[in-house]
Amino acid sequence: MAENHHEAGGDSKTPVLAPGHDYASVTRTISDIVLERAPDWRWALGMGAGSSLLMIFGIAVAYLIYMGTGIWGINAPVMWGWAIINFVWWVGIGHAGTLISAILLLLKQQWRTSINRFAEAMTLFAVACAGVFPLLHMGRPWKFFWMMPYPSTMALLPQWRSPLVWDVFAVSTYATVSALFWYVGLLPDLATLRDRAKNKYIAMIYGALALGWRGSARHWARYKSAYILLAALATPLVVSVHSVVSLDFTAGVIPGWHATIFPPYFVAGAIFSGFAMVVTLCVPLRSWYGLKDFITDRHLDNMAKVMLATGMVVGYGYVTELFMAWYSGNPYEQFLLLNARPFGTYSNAWRFMFFCNVIVPQLLWVPSIRRNTAILWVISIFVNIGMWLERYVIVVTSLSQDFLPGAWADYSPTKWDVMTYLGTLGLFTFCLFLFVRTLPAIAVAEMRELVHETHIEHAPHAASGAHGETA
């Protein structure tokens, strides 16, 4: 309980909610971003950049479907290139959202409250970006539904032993559960927007989306149990989804892929990169939209600590891989991990990955760096790049030089690989800016709950006085 008191911000540490807020001010600050505030140049810039890149995505996909996957840089040994690298990268980014919204909810961490909505949205958009790659890197994407079990006239079912089939189920379940969790969380806030909207048609849109939420005690009781159940479902899901993604590699026999440490190490990497992305997006968002009272330095500090912890697990993964290569006595594994990766064609990628993911996050041990927004933001960018390189190193180096030297070939991406990747960045940005404009980026109802709890902490007797709900 002492720890909880600690979290609510009653002591010398930066609180999770700046003092002086009541229900009305919290509601006003968040819902005004959607209802009142006119889109400014920053929003126009972000939306413009997002939609421009989205158009590039359209061109890249149209040409890909017209010409085939040969427009990419993939070749005979390296059949998986940027498409799979980006898939794993995007799925990984999505994981922090679920971690924040589900796992931190189960752990009753109050500091999740002001970042969960936004992190869940990030999850959804990242999964949307990830989801396009398994479709696009199929040679015949129009046959994608053959990965689904359905009563076909061919009397065929998918091969249940392939991790790529598990991917279909993992990613589609993950997308569905994340969307449901996000939407259930949105219901009370949509009702708030409905009640605060001055325009009749806008009130009707939010009213239809709020599904007649009235905020009665029964609503809330059921909402709370549904929410906690979804969180309890999403927690094993998030761990298994990225484990399944890691099995795409580790179920293979390729040196550098066939490592049993991959499932936990991929999950740690996913949380690592996901938190880095949350920080990357949180820092500009909170200053542009004046949300520093809600997303305080305390949040950034905590997120930096999670990044540090998961970054250490990732570093442990790297070292274990190297040790096991040496310890295995397997010449192919030793060649790949002790020779090809650190000194071969792609040694720059490997070294920079090590620098970004293992060296740079060590700065986060220092409290003053964690609390320096600018430096933390730069570190988070490094981590994003480093985690992309990690997937690049795993996919490309392992494939380009494996068992038979006669089948070795180097890999380099083409402009179409780059355009597709930039395109998904555009899709992500587009969705994100659309979300910021149309939905509350911070969970209003949960913030009001936080206000309530903070008031109780400060003045237990005054708690009943602060009960008036402002819609």
Contact footprint for other proteins (CB under 8 A) = 150-156, 194-195, 200, 203-204, 207-208, 211-212
Q: How far is the CB of 234 from other proteins (least distance, A)?
A: 23
Long-range contact set of residues 35-39: C-beta below 8 Å, sequence gap at least 24: 35/193, 35/196, 35/197, 35/198, 35/202, 37/289, 39/437
Q: How far is the CB of 318 from other proteins (least distance, A)?
A: 41
The answer to whether 457 touches 5, Cβ cutoff 8 Å, is: yes
Nearer to other proteins, 41 or 145 (CB): 145
Q: How far is the CB of 446 from other proteins (least distance, A)?
A: 24
Nearer to other proteins, 66 or 150 (CB): 150
What is the DSSP track for 401-447?
S-S-GGG-------HHHHHHHHHHHHHHHHHHHHHHHHS-SS-HHHH
Please, which residues have CB within 8 angstroms of residue 411's CB and are 6 or more apart in sequence? 73, 74, 75, 78, 81, 396, 399, 400
Nearer to other proteins, 200 or 218 (CB): 200
Nearer to other proteins, 214 or 461 (CB): 214
Q: How far is the CB of 189 from other proteins (least distance, A)?
A: 16
Rg of the chain over Cα atoms, rounded to whole angstroms, equals: 23
Q: How far is the CB of 399 from other proteins (least distance, A)?
A: 26
CA-based torsion, 182, 7, 217, 202: positive or negative = negative
Dmax (CA) for the chain in angstroms is 79
Please, which residues have CB within 8 angstroms of residue 250's CB and are 6 or more apart in sequence? 257, 258, 259, 260, 262, 263
Closest alpha carbon to 117 in 174, 181, 36: 181
Nearer to other proteins, 70 or 212 (CB): 212
221 C-beta neighbours (distance < 10 Å), count? 10
Nearer to other proteins, 21 or 196 (CB): 196
Nearer to other proteins, 189 or 248 (CB): 189
Nearer to other proteins, 151 or 465 (CB): 151
Q: How far is the CB of 198 from other proteins (least distance, A)?
A: 10
CA 116 – CA 230 distance, rounded (Å) = 14
